[in-house]
Amino acid sequence: MIHRSRRRRRPMAIGASVLVALAAALAVPATSLTAWADSQPAGTVAETPHLDAVEQALRQVAPGLDGSVWQRTDGNQLVDPGTGAAGDGWVLQTPGCWGDPACTDRAGTRRLLAGITATIAKATRTVDISSLAPLPNGAFQDAIVAGLKAAATRHQLRVRILVGAVPGVNLNVVPSTYRNELAARLGADAANVSLNVASVTTSKTGFSWNHSKILVVDGATAIVGGINDWKDDYLDTTHPVTDLDMAVTGPAARSAGGYLDTLWAWTCGRKWDPAYVWFAASSGASCMASMQRDAHPAPVPGTGSVPVIAVGGLGIGITSGTGSGRLAAPPADTKCGVAAVYDYTNTDAAYDSVNPEETALRTLIGSATSRIDISQQDLNGVCPPLPRYDVRLYDVLAAKLAAGVKVRIVVSDPRNHGTAGSGGYSQIESLAEISDVLRNRLALRTGDQQSARAAMCRGLQLASFRGSDADKWADGQPHALHHKVVSVDGAAFYIGSKNLYPAWLQDFGYIVEDRTAAGQLAQSVLDPEWRYSSAAATVDYARQICPQ
């Protein structure tokens, strides 16, 4: 179990083509929030109604996973991983070329890569990395190698690298090849590195594999978010994917390491079964199932004052849930033809109990009293074979709109929609697929379609993503968005790897409640995003653009 930080208690206010399509969609290849960005007066204890609501929900749905899959901590700090400075440097966005369709100056990407190197270079004991296959390449790999060489010249290191593998798709992701190439690049310093590399699928029939994107160093510093370590999608291209990570120091970093221990415990237990795990280790290294717990048994000291809930999910195949019974039958439009599979998202209480991040995100959205900002790849899933949408998520959004809460949603341009085998960063062909579902769920609450439309006209903004005034990159390709961001009331936000559409993967992220940090996120990411994306809005209460 992960050390639980002491804190002041507050009142709880099927075929190969289908798998290729899944690989693409499951993350393969106007009022400003700054108005709420005031800091708490010195000497006061910040109230945290949003975190309190999320924690209460997590204790109900997954009490047994506190410390292994989710954990609340105080004493954290959001800092620039490259310089250690305060300010908005903890926001690690790529490419960071707002307003330039040619994206000639990728300042965000440079800061991200420098932050990866600087973080790893400070390692004295452990480095933990997770991502989605393929394994890190290009400048991402260069950044990792540079950091490892700097650290390994001074210290003996234990290093784990785990990627999720889409069955039938990632057959060229061979851990032993990566191990050998990494050792060659480290040269003499490789002797100071005990290395584990694994490519993992936890369930083929359940379409489940690792999707988290985590870097943890010494259990004390972490970079977490949605960015995969892929050069072709993010770096060596004239139409880079827009994405986001965040950097944190303190006990929340240890929470991320504990989550990776949970994934590695399963991985080490199945490392001899190539149907699920491809594993490689450096000479003499065993499978390090509990590296974080073994290397960092003492509590991680606080570095600041920011409260954080770290929350992940185990997908399918790692452990059985403790929830019992079935949820209410979902509406018929969540299914897509005869290829639809069993709906874990909308029907299975046991699935809920081992994937608490989904409850956490719905609860975070439900805790909003004034506004909700959502920046996502999509709200609708890979249908078929997976369910079209999360009914409870849409119902929470409908309830908030009916109550007068302003809702802004930005998703990846639907022109990124790909057919099986062609990739793509969108699961929809039109924003109407989102607004139609939302209006139908609203109508169940308001009584009819007309009143539902009126509620959307009063409070919704829905747009496809743009990074500049141009509707495409200079090379003619549409803007692709891979954010997994939810922000509420200018006070609390989620950054991680979990999509809001149905996907049964291993994911992880942070929920932070801090007005200063929320304001920094708005100024650096959400405000410029809407500045350019608003031109593509199909619903915008501020400009009286209503759904048809």
Q: Is residue 507 flagged as an active site residue?
A: yes
3-state secondary structure of 522: helix
- In Å, how far from its chain's centre is CA 6? 26
Beta bridge partners of 374: 409, 486
Catalytic residue among 3, 50, 189, 211: 211
Rounded alpha-carbon distances, angstroms, from residue 106 to 6, 119, 142, 475, 533: 41, 20, 17, 16, 19
Q: Is residue 243 flagged as an active site residue?
A: yes
Q: How far apart are CA 232 and CA 245, in angstroms?
A: 18
| Beta sheet of 70-76, edge-to-edge order | 70-76, 306-314, 506-513, 492-496, 484-488, 371-376, 406-411, 460-464, 537-540
CB of 522 within 8 A of CB of 324? no
- In Å, how far from its chain's centre is CA 216? 15
Token digits for 149? 């060489």
Q: Is residue 479 flagged as an active site residue?
A: no
Catalytic residue among 80, 243, 261, 373: 243
Give 449's Cβ-side CA count (13 Å radius). Answer: 6
Q: Is residue 211 flagged as an active site residue?
A: yes
Kind and range of the H or E run holding 520: helix 515-521
Catalytic residue among 482, 483, 489, 540: 482
Degrees, nearest 5: CA angle 248-254-258: 130
Q: How far apart are CA 329 and CA 331, in angstroms?
A: 7
Catalytic residue among 378, 413, 507, 540: 507
Provide the annotated active-site residues: 211, 243, 482, 507
